[in-house]
């Protein structure tokens, strides 16, 4: 099974900051990596698919990159609605594992 590891597990940032979250796979998953945003009590929302493709309707301040085993999600200028928990998920092979999550909190 493929293990997904995110870092950091949490971070504090201010509105307007540039934020980068990292996700590592235990083996190569090519570009089969998706990113989700989750607010408490709400359903997850797809942000990025196939490592770097922006899901329709998602603001362009979100971007993703990486391939193989290392991936990043970047928020170029943090907005108030971006304070949430972010998860990566590999879709290379089942079980379709998620990373442990990165909570982005207000500084």
Partner 1 sequence: QVQLVESGGGVVQPGRSLRLSCAASGFTLGSMHWVRQAPGKGLEWVASISYGNTDYYGDSVKGRFTISRDNSRSTLYLQMNTLRNDDTAVYYCARDSSSEGLAYYGLDVWGQGTTVTVSS
Structure-derived torsion over alpha carbons of residues 54, 59, 65, 71, reported in degrees to the nearest 10: -100
> Which residue's CB is nearer to partner 1, number 18 or number 39?
39
Q: Mask: binding to partner 1, 41-70, rule CB under 8 A, as x and -?
A: --xxxx-xxx--x-x---------------
Q: Mask: binding to partner 1, 3-42, rule CB under 8 A, as x and -?
A: -----------------------------x-x-x-x----
Cβ-based neighbours of 74, under 8 Å, separated by 6 or more: 18, 19, 20, 21, 62, 63, 64, 65
Cβ-based neighbours of 41, under 8 Å, separated by 6 or more: none
The binding site for partner 1 (CB under 8 A) comprises: 1, 32, 34, 36, 38, 43-46, 48-50, 53, 55, 85, 87, 89, 91, 94-101
């Amino acid at each position: 099974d493929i293990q997904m590891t995110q870092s950091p597990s949490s971070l504090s940032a201010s509105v307007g900051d540039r934020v980068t979250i990292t996700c590592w796979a235990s083996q190569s998953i090519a570009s089969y990596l998706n990113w989700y945003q989750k607010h408490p009590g709400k359903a997850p929302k797809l942000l990025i698919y196939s490592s770097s493709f922006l899901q329709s309707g998602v603001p362009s301040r979100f971007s993703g990159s990486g391939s193989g085993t290392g991936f990043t999600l970047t928020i170029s200028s943090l907005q108030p609605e971006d304070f949430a928990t972010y998860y990566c998920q590999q879709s290379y092979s089942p079980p379709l594992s998620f990373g442990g999550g990165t909570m982005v909190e207000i500084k």
